Amino acid sequence: TQLLEQSPQFLSIQEGENLTVYCNSSSVFSSLQWYRQEPGEGPVLLVTVVTGGEVKKLKRLTFQFGDARKDSSLHITAAQPGDTGLYLCAGGRGAQKLVFGQGTRLTINP
């Protein structure tokens, strides 16, 4: 059973469209991180959210942490081909363990 469920698992859209990726759990997390991974490379951190209800923006990317700290979303506005990649959410379980969702593979078509 996956502790963190990401949806959708695959998403293919046209350049310029908007999209939202969800990361849901029945457990409370002390923090939640979003990573992006390119083929053949390790994940790279995009953002960390720690407060329930927190919203962070990174250019065209908006990240939100749920009020109850059990879920998060990533919204991309006007997607570009450079946004293509595997997006992973990860929840902090205490101070020492990080639990990852299964990932959302995003493809932006020109």
Residues engaged in binding another protein (CB under 8 A): 2, 4, 6, 9, 30-31, 33, 35, 40-45, 48, 50, 88, 90, 92-103
DSSP label of 83: G
Nearer to another protein, 31 or 84 (CB): 31
Nearest approach, Cβ of 78 to another protein (angstroms)?
27
d(CA 100, CA 90): 4
* Least separation in angstroms between CB 4 and another protein: 8
DSSP 99: E
Name which of 75 and 105 has its Cβ closer to another protein: 105
What is the residue whose two structure tokens read 């700290």?
69
**Strands of the sheet with 55-58, listed across from one edge:** 5-7, 19-24, 71-76, 61-65, 55-58
Minimum distance, C-beta of residue 2 to another protein, in the bound complex (Å): 8
